[in-house]
Amino acid sequence: MTSIDDLLRPDLRGRSPYGAPQLDVPVKLNTNENSHPLPDEVAADIEKALASVVRGLNRYPDRDAAGLRADLAAYLGHGLDVSRVWAANGSNEILQQLLQAFGGPGRVALGFTPAYSMHPIIAAATGTRWVDGRREADFDIDPAHAAAQIAEHRPDVVFLCSPNNPTGTALRPDVLAVVLEAAPGLVVVDEAYAEFAREGTKSALTLLPGRERLVVTRTMSKAFAFAGARLGYLAADPAVVDALQLVRLPYHLSALTQAAARAALAHAGVLLSTVDEIKRQRDRMVTALTGLGLPVVPSDANFVLFGGLADSRAVWRSLVDRGVLIRDVGLDGWLRVTAGTAAEVDAFLTAITAVVAALPVSESGA
């Protein structure tokens, strides 16, 4: 008898779905959400906006989401307009549409590992061959090494992630310049955490004029505290936006999503007011973890990657036992923790201090 597994595309057999554990623990610092709930004034306006479209839900929404895209362009600035901005259900859908249009069977995508784990997963789902590009030992990308890898693999799509998840550091401008020069195809800079970058960090948006193969993706899931709404977007040349129309599903963004996102964007200033506090908590974790003798990667994001753990799995488990869920990103010896509220960070620091103190001296490795 034919099993479902026999019917599945051979290139998908044996793969596992994306799966950050959604455990029911008091302190959840594992998926880089913004821990601060929406302020009342913003919530009230979103409720009003949703109410205003409910009776029209018998009709399909604006397929082009033109109003929302104009609002996103205005938020980004840099002279962008509707023709250069595209939106979808999370930046994951944006990335999927990019690979549906520019990747696919017979095509190659390359990213520099460790980076966002969804890049290779979406590549696989779209039948795009994935190449694991290499970073240096300190997680940095060396420009010459990057150019050599691109020359070797001639990828149709290169993924860069800045600030990089899971390491946290923003891309060096010279790396982006070299990659843009070396890459024969699309260069996608995933800027999901751009709003948390340290002062002086330049967004790839500044490089867009005149570079039609550069794509910058953003999301409202992190700094905007809007992960549950699912709204991601990109800025690129109008030709890229046009190409995505060939693969996007008609009416992919519901009228509810469009209305909620526009109402939220009208309060961008209020929503982003938690960013400074989150950065303070991030920097507090960097200082405290360093004080525990653990190596910490410099962070431009709302999370911190720390190492020096002989058995990072066991440390992760001990933290869960203490009610604190952080992320095992599959990097031996390292764990990633989101910068939450002051109370959540207190809970994490108390727990990690106890866990590290209980480690056998030879095992702390730091």
Ligand X SMILES: *Cc1c(COP(=O)(O)O)cnc(C)c1O
Minimum distance from residue 355 beta carbon to ligand X (Å): 25
- Tell me the two tokens of residue 118: 């969804």
Pick from 36, 33, 20, 26: which is nearest to 324 by CA? 26
Pick from 232, 238, 195, 239: which is nearest to 217 by CA? 232
CB 229 within 8 A of CB 257: yes
308 binds ligand X (CB under 6 A): no
With respect to ligand X, which residue has the nearer C-beta, 267 or 336?
336
With respect to ligand X, which residue has the nearer C-beta, 46 or 261?
261
CB 94 within 8 A of CB 245: no
Question: Strand pairing partners for 305?
Answer: 336
Residues 40 to 99 in contact with ligand X, rule: CB under 6 A: 90-92
With respect to ligand X, which residue has the nearer C-beta, 61 or 90?
90
Residue type, 181: E
Minimum distance from residue 37 beta carbon to ligand X (Å): 17
255 binds ligand X (CB under 6 A): no
With respect to ligand X, which residue has the nearer C-beta, 34 or 149?
34
Minimum distance from residue 136 beta carbon to ligand X (Å): 20
Write each residue from 153 to 172 as x if it is in contact with ligand X (CB under 6 A), else as -, in one continuous string. Answer: --------x---x-------
Dihedral sign for Cα atoms in the order 112, 116, 117, 118: negative
190 binds ligand X (CB under 6 A): yes
Q: What is the largest CA-CA distance in the chain?
A: 65
Burial class (CB in 10 A: 0-12, 13-18, 19+), 310: middle
Only one of the segments 35-43, 49-57, 127-135, 214-222 lies at the binding site for ligand X (rule: CB under 6 A); that segment is 214-222
Near ligand X by CB under 6 A: residue from 53, 74, 227, 256:
227
Rounded-to-integer distance, Cα 76 and Cα 55, Å: 31
* CA distances in angstroms from 337 to 166, 229, 302, listed in the order given: 9, 23, 9
Using CB under 6 A, count the residues that bind ligand X: 14
Near ligand X by CB under 6 A: residue from 28, 29, 30, 32:
32
Near ligand X by CB under 6 A: residue from 167, 219, 258, 299:
219
With respect to ligand X, which residue has the nearer C-beta, 227 or 270?
227
Residues 112 to 151 in contact with ligand X, rule: CB under 6 A: 116
Near ligand X by CB under 6 A: residue from 192, 259, 261, 349:
192
Only one of the segments 59-67, 217-225, 278-286, 347-355 lies at the binding site for ligand X (rule: CB under 6 A); that segment is 217-225
Q: Roughly how many angstroms between the first and final C-alpha of the chain, as a whole number? A: 55
Pick from 279, 162, 183, 268: which is nearest to 224 by CA? 268
340 binds ligand X (CB under 6 A): no
195 binds ligand X (CB under 6 A): no
Minimum distance from residue 218 beta carbon to ligand X (Å): 8
34 binds ligand X (CB under 6 A): no
Kindly give, in sequence order, each residue whose CB lies less than 8 Å from that of residue 242, ignoring residues fewer than 6 positions away. Answer: none
With respect to ligand X, which residue has the nearer C-beta, 27 or 223?
223
With respect to ligand X, which residue has the nearer C-beta, 110 or 356?
110
Minimum distance from residue 206 beta carbon to ligand X (Å): 20
* CA distances in angstroms from 19 to 16, 27, 112, 327, 329, listed in the order given: 8, 18, 21, 11, 11
Rounded-to-integer distance, Cα 113 and Cα 115, Å: 5
Which residues of this protein are in contact with ligand X, per CB under 6 A? 32, 90-92, 116, 161, 165, 190, 192, 219, 221-222, 227, 232
